[in-house]
């Protein structure tokens, strides 16, 4: 496949991944009555949009990374930092999905948990995009 296809997949995946994860976390942080069914709806969005978008982002990113890794990216500090932050972001997305599962199962989950996750996801997203665009400490 062409590099432009991988770039497009990566951009599309990242946009939907971050957008849906933030939307779900912020909606879950809003007060809602327990019988409203919002927990089940947000969990479905997380499973049907956020997780597939994350996989598309990874597929597109690895499609761009692997062919050029040894010559270009292995020597770039910004890429190592970006990939580390990406693993943390994937973990935060997993925590969000897990908390949504608990909430949908009827267990108590604090609204502050979702609020904090929204801030963590937003901050990581901004940092990752900043590293991708500006490529600081490039070697």
pLDDT in the model for residue 137:
80
Q: What is the pLDDT of residue 115?
A: 97
Helix 3-29 crosses helix 51-68 at what angle (to 10 degrees)? Answer: 150
The beta-carbon contacts of 114-117 under 8 Å, at least 24 apart in sequence, are 114/25, 114/26, 114/28, 114/29, 115/25, 115/26, 115/29, 117/25, 117/92
pLDDT of residue 45: 97
139 pLDDT above the threshold of 70: no
pLDDT (tens digit per residue) in 69-113? 887 788 898 999 999 999 999 999 999 999 999 999 999 899 999
pLDDT number for residue 138: 74
**What would the pLDDT profile of 5-57 be if each residue is shown by its tens digit?**
999 999 999 999 999 999 999 999 998 877 789 999 999 999 999 999 999 99
For every residue of 72-117, DSSP letters joined together read TGGG-HHHHHHHHHHHHHHHHHHHHHHHHHHHHTT----HHHHHHH
Q: What is the 3-state secondary structure (H, E, C) of 23-69?
A: HHHHHHHCCCCHHHCHHHHHHHHHHHHHHHHHHHHHHHHHHHHHHHC
Sorted by where each begins, the domain ranges of the chain are 3-134
The number of angstroms, rounded, from the C-alpha of 126 to the middle of its chain's C-alpha atoms is 11
CB atoms near residue 47 (< 10 Å): 13
CA–chain centroid gap for 81, Å, is: 16
- How far apart CA 51 and CA 13 sit, in angstroms, is 10
- Residue 33 has a pLDDT of 79
pLDDT, residue 9, reads 97
């Amino acid at each position: 496949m062409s590099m432009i296809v991988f770039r497009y997949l990566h951009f599309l995946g990242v946009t939907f991944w971050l957008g849906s994860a933030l939307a779900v976390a912020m909606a879950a942080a809003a007060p809602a009555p327990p019988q409203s069914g919002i927990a089940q709806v947000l969990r479905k969005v997380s499973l049907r949009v956020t997780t597939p978008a994350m996989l598309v982002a990874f597929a597109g990113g690895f499609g761009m990374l692997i062919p050029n890794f040894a010559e270009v990216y292995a020597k770039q500090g910004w890429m190592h930092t970006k990939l580390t932050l990406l693993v943390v972001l994937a973990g935060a997305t997993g925590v969000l999905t897990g908390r949504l599962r608990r909430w949908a199962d009827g267990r108590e989950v604090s609204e502050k948990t979702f609020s904090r996750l929204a801030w963590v996801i937003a901050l990581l997203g901004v940092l990752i995009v900043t590293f991708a665009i500006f490529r600081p400490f490039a070697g």
